[in-house]
Structure 1
Amino acid sequence: MSFLSSRRRKPRLAPELDDGDLGRLLKSLRATTRSGTFGTTDLCVAQLSRLFEQDPGDWDRRAHRLSVLADYLSESHLPSAWATREPGNASALVLAAWSELVRGRDTGGLADSSAAAKQCLRAADLDPQDPAPWVVLLGIARLERYAQSDVFGAWNEILARDRWHREAYLSMLAHLSPEEAGSRVQVLDFIDSIRPRMPANAPCAAVELTAQVMQYNAALARGGVDALVARNHWTNPQAVESLERAHHTWPQPSFFHHAKTLADLNLLAYALMAADRRQQAAPVFEAIGNTVTAWPWNSGGDSLAAFEHARNRAGL
């Protein structure tokens, strides 16, 4: 029994997090596409279609599933094949456009940004309440360096459909960062403008701590003196306040309900360990279990090794 217990405790990268239906689909897609049997595309398309027929109106879970599948299928023909077969299926169109966006981020630009945008607009016509097409349009506008009016136009369309959409807030945070099209001041202004109105357990609640981790990692990446003093970032009042709010509430079992809760807990554990607050990190690791996210643990190399090392330092 001891070796089985040890195996159960081994951390693993699981992009589906605790979404069992999504995890089973990913496992099935791996097995089906590996087999290369006749009718593989038909079977995979049917599986994708069934998943997105679940939970209509749950925009948060829908975005989680779309983002994970877009990452997984970005080099596959499946999204475009599904969109070609079912041009009246909003899920198929959004997944195809989102997969193109992922591939464009990897290569530095979209092969055909106009076609991807048209797929999103068609999906928005088919399902006017769904914010997902506008999330992808926001990503396209950022990647292709469209005018600010296009960026904020997509942003406003998302908020009109889902006020606290996690993907949208993280996308705007990246857009406003110094690494993209903004500045540190713009990031602070963005956080200050949303903090007073945002519910503490909103799906996008991690946007403030994400900004802190991004700033900390940017200092580490610069190397030299900046990297040597990067730990001091966690002593500034805003970083301290952000960590204080999060560690008291986020790990509580009934606090968060959104699809990427485990991703936010990974972020919190990373930040607490970066701030050398090991005792506070321990219950966060307990709440996480074995489900590891690539970011932010991969900022220093191998995600699983970094996670396990940090968990051991926290006394687990």
Structure 2
Amino acid sequence: MSILRKLRASGPRLLPELDDVKLGRVRRQLNSTGLPGQSGIQIDQIERLLQESGTDWDRRTHRLAVLAEAAAPSGLARTWRMRRPQSGDAMVFEAWVELVRGRHDGRMEQARTVADDCRRAAEALPEDPAPWVVLLGILRLIRAESRELFAVWHEVTSRDPWNREAHLQMLRYLSPEECGSRSGQLEFLDAVRGGVPSNAPAVGVELTALVDEHARTVARGGVEALLVRRQWTNHRATRALETALANWPRAGHLRYAAALADLNLLAFALVQAGRPREGAGVFDLVGDTVTPWPWSLDGEPLRQFSYWQAKALG
């Protein structure tokens, strides 16, 4: 047993910030009980955290996504926008909070108004892909025409070619469950696979598609669901798993903000493929940082993760 594993005393935890310690501190502040004057402190903390990200668009996008989720139940985003009406950061943050609420509700009553806010934020932050990432999410939620989505996709990728959030948004939009088809999704994956570097933030998009396909098959039930493991033996799945196994667990290889989320994804995929022992190195890198998805596909995430981590590392 490694020293790292001996030191793990807290056990697996769901940490939206993953290994971003500064982000975790601010997220916990946003989730704490409100006190007089606390909103001003929280806004200052968010501003500093985003400013610190500079032009690391990957880190900045991750921080915005986590903080927007944490702030969605409160009126903090509106307070910030009213306090700094010309701030591009305040604009994009409020738009992202509205997107989070829309995802939770399954609809956005003022989608086009929020979309206009994204465009204003883009004018204030011309180099930043984040306003376009939020707009992409809004258009996906309202099932906009593909022509409109691809125009926004171009805006994102011209600023940040391997933006993880944008790639996942397009993947799900092009799925059979939403506005696309399996063939259209495969065309998108082929295009991504042909150019994505092995350590880019979007490197997990193909494995995400395979896990989505796995979940789709299980949801249909019947004999096909009972034999779902066979999906992991076809050429596309085995190639994706072997490529990920060869690269992702290498020390220091994955350095982007959501790397631990993709390592969770790989560990889950190996379990579904009946290869948990091969994931020992992956589980070791993940440590105790668990992501709800995809572990929730099989039950309670922490329980599922703990069970399979013990199997892999035992």
TM-score band by shorter chain is over 0.9
Give the C-alpha shift of residue 237 in structure 1. Answer: 0.6
User: In 1, Cα distance between the equivalents of 2:139 and 2:283?
Assistant: 37
User: In 1, Cα distance between the equivalents of 2:228 and 2:68?
Assistant: 34
User: In 1, Cα distance between the equivalents of 2:146 and 2:183?
Assistant: 17
Task: Give the match for residue 117 of structure 1.
Answer: 115
Task: Give the match for residue 227 of structure 2.
Answer: 229
Give the C-alpha shift of residue 226 in structure 1. Answer: 2.3
Q: Secondary structure at the match of 1:296?
A: helix
User: In 2, Cα distance between the equivalents of 1:239 and 1:274?
Assistant: 11
Task: Give the match for residue 278 of structure 2.
Answer: 280
Normalising to structure 1: TM-score of the pair? 0.95
Residue 249 and residue 128 in structure 1: after superposition, are their counterparts in 2 closer, same or farther (change >3 A)? Answer: same
Normalising to structure 2: TM-score of the pair? 0.95
Give the 5 Å matches for 1:1-316: 8=9, 10-31=11-32, 34=33, 36-316=34-314
Give the C-alpha shift of residue 279 in structure 1. Answer: 2.1
User: In 2, Cα distance between the equivalents of 1:260 and 1:315?
Assistant: 23
Give the C-alpha shift of residue 30 in structure 1. Answer: 2.6
Give the C-alpha shift of residue 144 in structure 1. Answer: 1.1
Give the C-alpha shift of residue 29 in structure 1. Answer: 2.3
Gaps in structure 1 of 5+ consecutive residues:
none
Give the C-alpha shift of residue 315 in structure 1. Answer: 3.4
Contact 2:8 2:288 in 1 (8 A): no
Q: Secondary structure at the match of 1:38?
A: coil
User: In 1, Cα distance between the equivalents of 2:257 and 2:140?
Assistant: 24
CA deviations on 1:112-165 (whole Å, 9 max, x unpaired) are 112211221111001100000001111111111222221111101001101111
Alignment-mate amino acid for residue 115 of structure 1: T
Contact 2:163 2:202 in 1 (8 A): yes
CA deviations on 1:224-256 (whole Å, 9 max, x unpaired) are 222101111101110000000001110112211
Percent identity, please: 46
Alignment-mate amino acid for residue 278 of structure 1: P
CA deviations on 1:157-193 (whole Å, 9 max, x unpaired) are 0011011111111110000011111111111111111
Q: Secondary structure at the match of 2:9?
A: helix
Q: Secondary structure at the match of 1:109?
A: coil
User: In 2, Cα distance between the equivalents of 1:315 and 1:5?
Assistant: 12
Residue 106 and residue 30 in structure 1: after superposition, are their counterparts in 2 closer, same or farther (change >3 A)? Answer: closer
The runs of at least 4 aligned residues of structure 1 exceeding 6 Å deviation read: none
Contact 2:31 2:70 in 1 (8 A): no
Q: Secondary structure at the match of 1:209?
A: helix
Alignment-mate amino acid for residue 286 of structure 2: I
Give the C-alpha shift of residue 7 in structure 1. Answer: 6.0
CA deviations on 1:264-313 (whole Å, 9 max, x unpaired) are 00000000111111221111000111000010001122110010111122
Alignment-mate amino acid for residue 16 of structure 2: P
Alignment-mate amino acid for residue 284 of structure 1: V
Give the length in aligned residue pairs.
310
Gaps in structure 2 of 5+ consecutive residues:
none
Greater CA drift, 77-86 or 259-268: 77-86
User: In 1, Cα distance between the equivalents of 2:216 and 2:85?
Assistant: 42
User: In 2, Cα distance between the equivalents of 1:191 and 1:225?
Assistant: 28
User: In 2, Cα distance between the equivalents of 1:37 and 1:28?
Assistant: 11
